[in-house]
């Protein structure tokens, strides 16, 4: 089957290569000529493990191509995926103008039956709106072309996008016609995952509600962690004990410095905004967001409680990306910690295995170190912000020798207390040992 994917960000690229693995022929479209130029050369403009080699293989086989021209991509494609961004507007609602532009362009150029699949995360009712936009363009052209709009939300996690695409927990298909449903069944025929066939509106809500509950689990555990800190309880042990209950599950129970990334913050906000416009309070989501906003400040306040004033203190910041295995800095907690540390008078030397330059541009005062050992030189304290695998394997004795102070603040609850303490360092975690 020939498939066009509009937008070559995380979702567009992952969709393209994973559908390519299923035997389909893919054409990726992006308005960004630089991105397309790189992709045509097999260069991935983002860091996502495993994806670049797959692009190169599929380019060489001729089963994957890229273009900046939607018009050129449309005629041969039976299915058109929309995978453009839906960032937050200042009022919290998602900005749908990229989706709108693509829908209009599709309406301008289609001449035969297509299934248009929305993969972007969008509010309930967007599939109907996309249908209207396309119909209006067809009316303007005085042509009649049949098409269907399907909602097929994406659930991949950055850093493990390929694995998630190959082995999804479920595929959600919100189709409004039998013809579209059958086409989508062919698209995903070779994926071994449960398929939920539902309406487009239900599919759109499934995506927002899924992200919102995951974000809420994190904020809930961050609240529990702060209580654990007062009661000398280790929240990691609590999470372990809770997670074995199958009704709760072990995932997304890790307390830390809060959630970041391009999805949770904007999607929780968008669902909250959707509630507001429907006159529905959504107070849980309000608190989910509040707790997340406050978490970096709470971590810094705890550091001040432990270290005294941070004025003149040297802090080694380990990790800048919003999570490991990505170079994505969107809503990264590091970008919230840095101004707070600076405002408190601390000097920061940061390190990250992948992403440093954009942080240096945004915060010229931050020193950038090649690795954790360089960052720790003369430091009063180490602060772990992103739990990259390389940081979990640190030789803490080597770190101790280089530091001036002896404090390790684990804002991800990812380090082994025993290993840190065996090196003669004092450990602090979020609602773990050392917190109060
Ligand atoms: N990043 C994730 O992990 C993830 C996971 C699930 C769902 N989503 C959702 O998927 C959508 C895309 O997310 P992303 O992170 O891939 O976005 P992104 O911002 O990384 O990429 C979007 C791409 O679309 C391109 N684009 C914009 N307008 C275009 C147009 N008119 N024609 C062609 N290309 C156009 C941009 O140049 C950009 O390359 C969002 O709605 C997001 O919420 C993202
Ligand atoms: O127990 C946990 C789990 C995660 N996080 C943080 O939560 C954020 C988001 O992590 P994760 O969900 O792994 O990354 P994303 O790539 O943003 O993926 C989320 O957002 C995507 C975009 O909608 C969805 O497709 C995914 O299903 C959803 O997990 C990161 O800052 C993590 O550090 C925690 O603090 N504690």
Is the pLDDT at 436 greater than 80? The verdict is no
DSSP 195: E
Task: Tell me whether domains 2-198 and 233-429 share a fold.
Answer: yes
pLDDT digits (tens, 9 = 90+) for 202-233: 999 999 999 999 999 999 999 999 999 999 99
Give the number of other CB atoms < 10 A from CB of residue 168: 19
Band (pLDDT 50/70/90 cuts) for residue 387 is very high
Q: Please give the pLDDT value at position 435.
A: 61
For the chain, the average pLDDT equals 97
Which CATH number, 3.40.190.10, 3.40.50.720, 3.30.160.270, 3.40.50.2300, labels domain 2-198? 3.40.50.720
The Cα diameter of the chain in Å comes to: 77
Q: Which residues of 119-143 are buried (b: 16+ CB within 10 A; e: fewer)?
A: bbbbbbebbebbbebbeebbeeeee
Band (pLDDT 50/70/90 cuts) for residue 357 is confident
Mean pLDDT of 12-39: 97
Q: Which helix (H) or strand (E) holds 304?
A: helix 283-307
Ligand with minimal distance to 211 CA:
2
Give the Cα-Cα-Cα angle 117, 331, 380 (nearest 5 degrees): 150
Q: Whose Cα sits closest to atom 27 in ligand 1?
A: 84
Binding-site positions read: 30, 35, 86, 121, 155-158, 207, 252-256, 260, 266, 323, 330
ipTM over 0.95: yes
Domain boundaries, the chain: 2-198, 233-429
Catalytic choice (4, 263, 318, 423): 263
Q: Which class is 233-429 in CATH?
A: alpha beta
Binding-site positions for NAD(+) read: 30, 35, 86, 121, 158, 266, 330
**Ligand 2: does its nearest atom lie under 6 Å from the Cβ of 298?**
no
Q: Please give the pLDDT value at position 27.
A: 98
Mean pLDDT of 275-286: 96
Is position 263 annotated as part of the catalytic site?
yes
Give the number of other CB atoms < 10 A from CB of residue 356: 18
| Residue 333, token pair as written in the block | 């907690």
């Amino acid at each position: 089957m020939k498939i066009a994917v509009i937008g070559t960000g995380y979702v567009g690229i992952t969709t393209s290569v994973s559908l390519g693995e299923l035997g389909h022929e893919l054409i990726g479209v992006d308005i960004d000529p630089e991105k397309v130029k790189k992709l045509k050369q097999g260069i991935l403009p983002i860091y996502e493990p495993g994806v670049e080699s797959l692009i190169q293989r599929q380019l060489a086989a001729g089963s994957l191509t890229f273009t900046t021209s939607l018009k050129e991509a449309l005629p041969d494609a039976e299915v058109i995926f929309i995978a453009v961004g839906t960032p937050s507007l200042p009022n919290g609602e998602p900005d749908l103008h990229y989706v709108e532009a693509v829908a209009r362009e599709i309406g301008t150029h289609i001449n035969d039956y297509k299934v248009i699949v929305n993969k972007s995360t969008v509010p309930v009712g967007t599939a109907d709106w996309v249908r209207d936009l396309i119909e209006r363009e067809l009316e303007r052209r005085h042509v009649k072309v049949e098409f269907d709009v399907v909602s097929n939300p994406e659930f991949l996690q950055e850093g493990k996008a390929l694995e998630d695409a190959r082995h999804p927990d479920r595929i959600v298909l919100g189709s409004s016609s039998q013809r579209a449903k059958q086409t989508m069944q062919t698209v995903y025929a070779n994926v071994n995952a449960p398929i939920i066939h539902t309406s487009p509106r239900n599919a759109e809500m499934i995506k927002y509600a899924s992200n919102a509950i995951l974000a809420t689990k994190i904020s809930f555990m961050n609240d529990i962690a702060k209580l654990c800190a007062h009661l000398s309880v280790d929240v990691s042990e609590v999470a372990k004990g809770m997670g074995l209950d199958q009704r709760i599950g072990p995932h997304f129970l890790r307390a830390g410095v809060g959630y970041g990334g391009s999805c949770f913050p904007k999607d929780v906000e968008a669902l909250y905004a959707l509630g507001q416009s429907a006159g529905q309070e959504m107070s849980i989501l309000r608190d989910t967001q509040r707790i997340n906003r406050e978490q970096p400040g709470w971590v810094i306040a705890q550091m001040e409680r432990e270290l005294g004033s941070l004025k003149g203190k040297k802090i080694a910041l380990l990790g800048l990306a919003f999570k490991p295995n990505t170079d994505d800095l969107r809503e990264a907690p590091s970008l919230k910690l840095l101004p707070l540390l600076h405002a408190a008078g601390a000097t920061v030397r940061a390190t990250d295995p992948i992403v440093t330059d954009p942080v240096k541009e945004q915060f010229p005062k931050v020193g950038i170190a090649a690795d954790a050992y360089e960052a720790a030189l003369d430091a009063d304290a180490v602060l772990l912000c992103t739990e990259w695998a390389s940081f979990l394997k640190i030789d803490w004795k080597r770190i101790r020798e280089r530091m001036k102070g002896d404090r390790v603040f684990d804002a991800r609850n990812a380090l082994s207390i025993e290993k840190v303490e065996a090196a003669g360092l004092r450990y602090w975690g979020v609602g773990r040992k050392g917190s109060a």
